[in-house]
């Protein structure tokens, strides 16, 4: 099978559709573009399936590349036989390939190699025959030389050769790998003397659990404790099962030579194969934990990015503080900075703070107030509510705002403003449009990950980039107001092209049509095809430019309109006329019913934002952990979903945990079945540990 067929087989997908999708990807098509505008080619695969297809294809391509390198190495050293070549070509995993190659891989000088150089390989072969009546000492006598000074040294060297043979046997390795992965146990112990310093890892001080059953968060937690030198983590397997596997491939007879072989096998497992399998098992387990943790992170990030926007309202945004005061900024409907001030509402200057807030509201006709949920946030919120300003006061999660304020993006946007003022601007813009603002921040800094600092950085970046790209293209981007950073996530627009768009816009003024994009440096036919459908031009002369209908489909829409006796604008405005359209009349070689249905659906609600409507939220009258009591019922906001439960902000500066067992009365496999980041929930306080700042909650 070729790589396209193997990809289809591994994912159980139609091989013809896989081939078409991979051809599109090779031609420069992005996953959002294929999912939205090439449904006929993909068979309607969604972005998750398409990303999995791409990743599997890349994995298999890497395997093929490694096979080529191995075959070349063997051929150069004149070690390649027909049987070996066939084995390599039939291998389906990297582990299987490396097991086949292991005996032939150029090696450092091992004990076995030194023994072979000393002429002991024949002795190893004699011992392996295990003839009844043979005495190992007598067999070894002829092999005593200047390099091998005594019989025991000869026997030891022969055993080293047998040990390495066993450790490199592909069949034994394959079975041992299964034993470690399916029957192995993690054993975790605290390092003596580190009990107090490593107290946060106390749950794992004396822990044992089957490798295959250990959830991702536990694997990552124990590995972190090991890395920080508080825990000792090992993988153990049943000794009888190990012996059974070794002796199946290297049978042991009940005689003196058999005793030597068994000693060699035990040494080979303890010194070579066991540690290798433990390392590999830990790696496989870590990779699985990474995938699960990254998946949870991506789901949380999607919910955060797709949070309901308040929309174009003039806003006051406050970054709260005690000693240094509250940095207060004013923004217009588009999030443009108007003015800033510093007020001290909770440190003895409440009257002047109240006057300043009212002045700014009246001067700039402000319609809402965003308050960061960090230090002094609840106190500032309480102060504002007492003023009865007749505009909503909304708490905003400020995770990562300080990261943005010190970033190059923030410096470019506001070179003359202080970091804290930039942070306040970010808080206000998050309320107006979370997606447009959060894309400026490294996803790892938005506070919705699970052990994100412990997982594979490359895989994490790929997954989070895929998530951000998916969200941005799902919502669509206003071509005339989007930042370069936001534009860079649009299908087909690299950071360089996004920067060119902004430069063109600054020089030539607002875009009046999508077609104008073709005048931007760096945007050729392919880039235009990939990006145009995801960019919106409000108030363009062609109403389709503000919709998700792709320019390549404009002629079809124009024909639809003409066939029912109107123009494009009339077709978009009159539902009765759209009902007259018979989709089968417009099928072409390039566009089938799936695309035509999408076009008509978009004409029904052109440019519709897929995000939910904004709903205001208020915390209860509690401000610190000292205000809580067992049994108290409170409203809260889910801030993070993990494998073991959900963290909920109840307004006391410490998120409470709803364990997975307390999320629902019915059994659930994962918390994401019940809750998501940003979700409004009602919780009950079940326990409070003030010393450790831990709050346990229940949604039952």
pLDDT band at 183 (very low <50, low <70, confident <90, very high): very high
Please tell me whether residues 132 and 251 are part of one structural domain: yes
Residue 448 placed within a domain: no
Whether 617 maps to a domain, the answer reads no
Rounded mean pLDDT, 119-126: 96
Identify the domain boundary among 298, 324, 350. Answer: 298
The mean pLDDT value for 572-578 works out to 92
pTM: 0.85
Beta-carbon contacts of 610 under 8 Å, excluding residues fewer than 6 positions away, are: 306, 474, 475
Q: Are 272 and 172 in contact (CB under 8 A)?
A: no
Find out whether 535 and 479 touch, Cβ atoms under 8 Å: yes
Distance CA 325, CA 113 (A): 72
Average pLDDT score over the chain: 93
Does residue 633 fall inside a structural domain?
Answer: yes
Helices and strands in the chain: count of H runs, count of E runs: 30, 15
Contact predicate 403/441, CB 8 Å: yes
Q: Are residues 587 and 685 in the same domain?
A: no
Here the tokens at position 91 are 């291998």
Report the CATH number at residue 541. 1.10.150.310
Judgement on whether residues 281 and 324 belong to the same structural domain of the protein: no
Q: What is the pLDDT of residue 229?
A: 95
CB atoms within 10 A of CB 661: 12
Q: Are residues 100 and 122 in the same domain?
A: no
- On whether the CB atoms of residues 15 and 44 are closer than 8 A, the answer is no
Written in H, E and C, the secondary structure of 77-131 is CCCCCHHHHHHHHHCCCHHHHHHHHHHHCCCCCCHHHHHHHCCCHHHHHHHHHCC
Torsion of CA 521, 522, 527, 531, to 10 degrees: -50
What is the distance between the alpha carbons of residues 171 and 100, in angstroms, rounded to a whole number?
A: 9
Residues 171 and 227 in one domain: yes
Q: Of the residues 240, 264, 298, which one is the last residue of a structural domain?
A: 298
User: What pLDDT is stored for residue 141 in this prediction?
Assistant: 95
Examine residue 520 and state whether it is found in any structural domain, yes or no: yes
Does residue 262 form part of some domain?
Answer: yes
Q: Which residues contact 220 (CB under 8 A, 6 or more apart)?
A: 286, 289, 293, 450, 451, 454, 455
* Beta carbons within 10 angstroms of residue 86's beta carbon: 10
Q: Is the pLDDT of residue 347 over 90?
A: no
What sign has the CA pseudo-torsion 48, 53, 58, 60? positive
Picking from 357, 379, 353, 378, the residue whose alpha carbon sits closest to that of residue 368 is 357
Residue pair 199/193 in contact by the 8 Å Cβ criterion: no
Q: What single string gives the DSSP state of each residue in 145-190?
A: -SSS-SHHHHHHHHHHHHHHHHHH-HHHHHHHHHHHHHH-EEEEEE
- The C-alpha atoms of residue 24 and residue 343 are separated, in whole angstroms, by 56
Whether residue 658 is contained in a domain is answered as: yes
Q: How confident is the model at residue 108 (pLDDT cuts 50, 70, 90)?
A: confident
Examine residue 441 and state whether it is found in any structural domain, yes or no: no
**Tokens 């596997």 correspond to what residue?**
245
Q: Mean pLDDT over residues 540-558, rounded?
A: 95
Average pLDDT over residues 135-150: 94
Which position has the token pair 């009591």?
629
Average pLDDT of the segment spanning 189-207:
93
Residue 188 CB partners (closer than 8 Å, separation 6+): 204, 205, 206, 207, 208, 222, 225, 231, 232, 233, 234
Query: Is residue 442 situated within a structural domain?
Result: no
Domain count, the chain: 5
282/320 same-domain check: no
Does the pLDDT at position 346 exceed 90? no
**pLDDT tens-digit readout, 409-426:** 999 999 999 998 999 999
Q: Give 553's contacts (C-beta < 8 A, 6+ positions apart).
A: 591, 595, 599
Give the CATH number, domain containing residue 673: 2.40.50.140
**What band does 160 get if pLDDT is binned at 50, 70 and 90?**
very high
Residue 610, classed as helix, strand or coil, is coil
Position 618 scores a pLDDT of 86
Residue 1 pLDDT level (bands cut at 50, 70, 90): confident
With a cut of 80, say whether residue 683 has pLDDT above it: yes
Identify the band that residue 454 occupies on the pLDDT scale cut at 50, 70 and 90.
Answer: confident
Q: Which of 311-320, 565-574, 611-620 has the lowest mean pLDDT?
A: 611-620
> Which residue has better confidence, 162 or 677?
162
Q: Tell me, what's the pLDDT at 446? A: 78
- Which tens digits make up the pLDDT trace of 56-93? 999 999 999 999 999 999 999 899 999 999 999 999 99
Cα–Cα distance between 514 and 505 in angstroms, integer?
12
- Do 89 and 123 lie in a common domain? no
Q: What angle do CA 649, 650, 656 make, to 5 degrees?
A: 65
Structure tokens at 109: 């000088």
Kindly state whether residues 50 and 128 are assigned to the same domain.
no
| Sequential DSSP letters for 335-374 | --EEEEEEE-TTTT-HHHHHHHHHHHHHHHT--EEEEESS
* Residue 212 CB partners (closer than 8 Å, separation 6+): 181, 182, 184
Per-residue pLDDT, 68:
95
Cβ-based neighbours of 340, under 8 Å, separated by 6 or more: 327, 328, 329, 330, 417, 421, 424
pLDDT of residue 457: 87
pLDDT of residue 349: 84
Tens of pLDDT, residue by residue over 25-59, are 999 999 999 999 999 999 999 999 999 999 999 99
Residues 125-146, mean pLDDT to the nearest whole number: 94
CATH number, domain with residue 58: 1.10.10.650
Between strands 680-689 and 337-343, the pairing is: unpaired
Out of 104, 122, 144, a domain closes at 104
Residues 61 and 169 in one domain: no
Positions of E strands within 412-561: 477-478, 535-536
526 Rama sector, left if φ>0, alpha if ψ -120 to 50, beta otherwise: alpha
Q: What is the pLDDT of residue 36?
A: 95
Instruction: Flag whether pLDDT at 669 surpasses 90.
Output: no
What was the pLDDT predicted at 504?
96
Query: Does 26 lie in the same domain as 128?
Result: no
pLDDT, tens only, 640-666: 999 899 999 999 888 999 999 999 999
d(CA 99, CA 116): 21
- Of 385, 408, 474, 450, the closest CA to residue 643 belongs to 450
Domain identity same for 59 and 9: yes
Name the residue range of residue 133's domain: 111-298
Cβ within 8 Å of residue 567, ≥6 positions away: 561
Question: Region 284-309: what's the mean pLDDT?
Answer: 92
Question: 609 versus 251: which is more confidently predicted?
Answer: 251
In whole angstroms, what separates CA 120 from the centre of its chain?
52
Note the pLDDT of residue 616: 85
Q: Residues in the chain, how many?
A: 700
351 and 425 assigned to the same domain: yes
């Amino acid at each position: 099978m070729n790589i396209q067929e193997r990809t289809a087989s591994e994912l159980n997908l139609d091989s013809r559709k896989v081939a078409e999708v991979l051809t599109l990807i090779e031609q420069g098509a992005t996953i959002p573009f294929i999912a939205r505008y090439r449904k006929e080619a993909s068979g309607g695969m969604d972005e998750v399936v398409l990303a999995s297809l791409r990743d599997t294809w890349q994995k298999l391509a890497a395997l093929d590349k490694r096979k080529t390198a191995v075959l070349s190495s063997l051929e150069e050293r004149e070690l390649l036989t027909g049987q070996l070549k066939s084995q390599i070509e039939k291998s389906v995993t990297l582990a299987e390939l490396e097991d086949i190659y292991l005996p032939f891989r150029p090696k450092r000088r091992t004990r076995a190699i030194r023994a072979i150089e000393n002429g002991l390989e024949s002795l190893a072969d004699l011992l392996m025959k295990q003839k009844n009546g043979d005495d190992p000492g007598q067999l070894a006598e002829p092999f005593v030389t200047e390099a091998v000074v005594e019989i025991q040294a000869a026997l030891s060297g022969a055993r080293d050769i047998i040990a390495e043979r066993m450790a490199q046997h592909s069949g034994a390795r394959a079975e041992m790998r299964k034993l470690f992965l399916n029957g192995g146990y993690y054993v975790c112990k605290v390092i003596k003397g580190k009990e107090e310093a490593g107290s946060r890892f106390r749950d794992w001080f004396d822990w044992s659990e089957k490798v295959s059953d250990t959830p991702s968060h536990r694997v990552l937690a124990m590995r972190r404790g090991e890395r920080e030198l508080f825990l000792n983590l090992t993988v153990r397997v049943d000794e009888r099962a190990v012996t059974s596997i070794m002796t199946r491939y290297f049978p042991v007879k009940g005689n003196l030579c058999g005793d030597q072989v068994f000693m060699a096998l035990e040494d080979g497992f303890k010194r070579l194969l066991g540690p290798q399998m433990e390392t590999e098992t830990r790696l496989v387990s870590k990779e699985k934990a990474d995938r699960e943790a990254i998946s949870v992170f991506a789901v949380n990030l999607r919910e955060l990015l797709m949070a309901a926007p308040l929309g174009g309202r003039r806003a006051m945004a406050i970054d709260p503080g005690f000693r240094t005061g509250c940095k207060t900024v004013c923004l217009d409907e588009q999030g443009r900075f108007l003015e800033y001030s510093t007020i001290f509402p909770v440190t003895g200057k409440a009257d002047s703070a109240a006057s300043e807030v009212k002045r700014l509201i009246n001067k700039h006709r402000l319609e809402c107030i965003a308050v960061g949920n960090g230090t002094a946030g609840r106190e500032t919120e309480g102060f504002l509510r007492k003023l009865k300003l007749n505009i909503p006061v909304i708490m905003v999660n400020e995770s990562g705002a300080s990261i943005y304020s010190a970033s190059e993006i923030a410096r470019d946007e506001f070179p003359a403003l202080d970091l804290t003022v930039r942070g306040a601007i970010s808080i206000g813009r998050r309320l107006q449009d979370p997606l447009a603002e959060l894309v400026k921040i490294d996803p790892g800094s938005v506070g919705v990950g699970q052990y994100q600092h412990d997982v594979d950085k490359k895989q994490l970046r790929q997954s989070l980039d895929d998530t951000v790209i998916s969200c941005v293209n799902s919502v669509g981007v206003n071509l005339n107001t989007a930042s370069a950073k936001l534009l860079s996530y649009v299908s087909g627009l690299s950071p360089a092209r996004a920067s060119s768009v902004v430069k063109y816009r600054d020089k030539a003024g607002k875009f009046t049509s999508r077609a104008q994009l073709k005048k931007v440096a760096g945007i050729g036919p392919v880039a235009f095809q990939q990006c145009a459908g995801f960019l919106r031009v409000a108030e363009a002369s062609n109403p389709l430019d503000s919709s998700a209908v792709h320019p390549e489909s404009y002629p079809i829409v124009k024909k639809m309109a003409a066939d029912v006796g109107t123009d494009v604008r009339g077709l978009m405005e009159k539902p009765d006329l759209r009902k007259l359209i018979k989709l089968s009349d417009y099928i072409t070689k390039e566009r089938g019913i799936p695309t035509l249905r999408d076009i008509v659906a978009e004409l029904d609600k052109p440019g519709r934002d897929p995000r939910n409507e904004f709903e205001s939220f208020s915390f209860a009258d509690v401000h610190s952990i000292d205000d809580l009591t067992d049994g108290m019922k409170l409203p809260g906001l889910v801030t993070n979903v993990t494998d073991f439960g959900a963290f909920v902000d109840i307004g006391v500066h410490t998120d409470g945990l709803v364990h997975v067992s307390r999320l629902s009365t019915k059994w659930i496999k994962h918390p994401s079945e019940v809750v998501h980041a940003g979700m409004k929930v009602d919780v009950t306080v079940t326990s409070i540990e003030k010393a450790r700042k831990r709050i346990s909650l229940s949604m039952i």
